[in-house]
């Protein structure tokens, strides 16, 4: 059969459309991770590594094995910037970043001239994609969403007067998240009756608890975007003081060490987080397979590590290319992607902050278990 030139050209175009832009390329993921230091519980080199292992065992992405380069930021923003440059120099065409905006923003600025996307594994501060709108993305939900979720759960439980815990030494997380909560809580009809300042790393919270006790308007709840082990120390101190006030929070509580540190005070805590490994869930399957491979899932951030790679994989396959700008553009158009911690992830028209359902956890009898899911009806703008 003789093929007309126009038809032949069309067939060639169709055939070539099924090939990656460069058949000799591969996906290189650089990970500027808080391997050590105070932020280490909120990053997950192990979760990222496990998902890359699974993908490579299944044939890679676009037929090529994924190369993963991990460097330690030591939980320091300046070191994060230096590590980011090192990863760029080593050829990373996607970068996963550390769990605070002050480490992520400089990396995204360094990556921008090459159109390289930068995704947080554990950072939930929407200040990052706001500051880096062209190439900055959260893998978790934003703090404004989780704070709104916590506000709806607290209001539904009958709370009307809240006091906020404020710290300024962990990026925007512990300073701005309480204000997101305040906006959502007040919109529902609640009232903020005070703000109590603290610094992460305190040996006890007696001074702060005394301030809460002496508040003239008698708060019926506390909101704290606080990290472990401080989250445990806070509720332990509240309990020891005989001050029976529940504490609501977000994913900073989500670490097994919380219950150990909190002791009898653990039951005061309710928090919103990214998911739970219930039987039959993708997260449970991921944990089980990774455990068999010799990895140890420490907390939900292990799942988010795998989910970060899943987002990148989906974008590369959609773009059919390893070219960073093409991957970056594809991330912006992701809709209803089945994740590892959640059943649906959408970036399209979300400004770098994905739309996700959240899990509400409560501590009881020495265990932290899911009680419901929430997708807030109103979320404050970042």
pLDDT of residue 382: 87
Instruction: Please count the CA atoms within 13 angstroms of the CA of 167 that sit on its side-chain side.
Output: 19
- Evaluate whether 311 touches 344 at the Cβ level (below 8 Å): no
DSSP-assigned beta bridge partners for residue 368: 363
Report pLDDT digits (tens) over 285-302. Answer: 999 999 999 999 989 999
Query: Could you tell me which residues are beta bridge partners of residue 29?
Result: 68, 94
Instruction: Reply yes or no on whether the pLDDT at 211 is more than 50.
Output: yes
Structure tokens, 272: 């919103």
CB 258 within 8 A of CB 235: no
Buried b (16+ CB within 10 A) or exposed e, 86-104: ebbeeebbbbbbbbbbbbb
Confidence band (pLDDT; 50, 70, 90) for 259?
very high
- From the list 292, 70, 270, the residue with the least C-alpha distance to 162 is 270
pLDDT tier, 333 (very low <50, low <70, confident <90, very high otherwise): very high
How high is the pLDDT of residue 132?
Answer: 97
Say what the pLDDT of residue 272 is. 97
**Residue range 237-244: mean pLDDT, rounded:** 96
Which residue, among 273, 278, 223, has the nearest Cα to 253 in the 3D structure?
A: 273
At 264-276, the pLDDT tens digits run: 999 999 999 999 9
23-27, 46-50, 63-67, 302-306: least confidently modelled range: 23-27
Rounded distance between C-alpha atoms, residue 360 and residue 344, angstroms: 17
């Amino acid at each position: 059969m003789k093929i007309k030139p126009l038809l032949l050209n069309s067939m060639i175009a169709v055939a070539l459309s099924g090939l990656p832009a460069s058949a000799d390329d591969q996906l290189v993921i650089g990970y500027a991770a808080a391997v050590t230091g105070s932020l280490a519980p909120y990053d997950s080199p192990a979760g990222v590594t496990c998902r890359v292992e699974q993908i490579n065992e299944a044939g890679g992405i676009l037929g090529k094995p994924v190369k993963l380069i991990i460097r330690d930021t030591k939980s320091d923003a300046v070191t994060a910037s230096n590590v980011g440059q090192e990863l760029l120099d080593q050829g990373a065409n996607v970068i996963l970043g550390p769990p605070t905006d002050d480490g992520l923003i400089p990396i995204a600025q360094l990556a921008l001239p090459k159109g390289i996307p930068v995704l947080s594994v554990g950072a939930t501060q929407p200040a990052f994609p706001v500051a880096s709108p062209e190439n900055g993305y959260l893998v978790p939900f934003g703090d404004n969403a989780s704070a709104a979720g916590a506000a709806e759960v607290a209001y539904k439980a009958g709370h009307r007067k809240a006091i906020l815990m404020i710290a300024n030494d962990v990026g925007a997380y512990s300073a701005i998240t309480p204000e997101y909560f305040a906006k959502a809580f007040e919109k529902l009809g609640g009232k903020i009756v005070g703000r109590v300042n603290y610094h992460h790393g305190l040996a006890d919270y007696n001074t702060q608890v005394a301030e809460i006790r002496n508040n003239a308007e008698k708060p019926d709840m506390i909101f704290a975007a606080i990290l472990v082990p401080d989250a445990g120390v806070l509720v332990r101190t509240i309990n020891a003081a005989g001050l029976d006030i529940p504490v609501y929070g977000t994913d900073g509580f989500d670490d097994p060490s919380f219950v150990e540190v909190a002791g009898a005070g653990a039951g005061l805590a309710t928090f919103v987080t990214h998911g739970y490994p219930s039987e039959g869930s993708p997260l449970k399957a991921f944990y089980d397979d990774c455990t068999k491979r010799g990895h140890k899932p420490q907390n939900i951030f292990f799942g988010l590590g795998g989910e970060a790679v899943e987002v990148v994989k989906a974008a590369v396959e959609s773009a059919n290319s390893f070219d960073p700008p093409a991957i970056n553009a594809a991330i912006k158009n992701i809709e209803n992607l089945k994740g590892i911690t959640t059943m649906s992830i959408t970036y399209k028209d979300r400004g770098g902050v994905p739309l996700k359902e959240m899990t509400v956890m409560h501590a009881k009898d020495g265990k932290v278990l899911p009680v419901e899911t929430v997708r807030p009806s109103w979320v404050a703008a970042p």
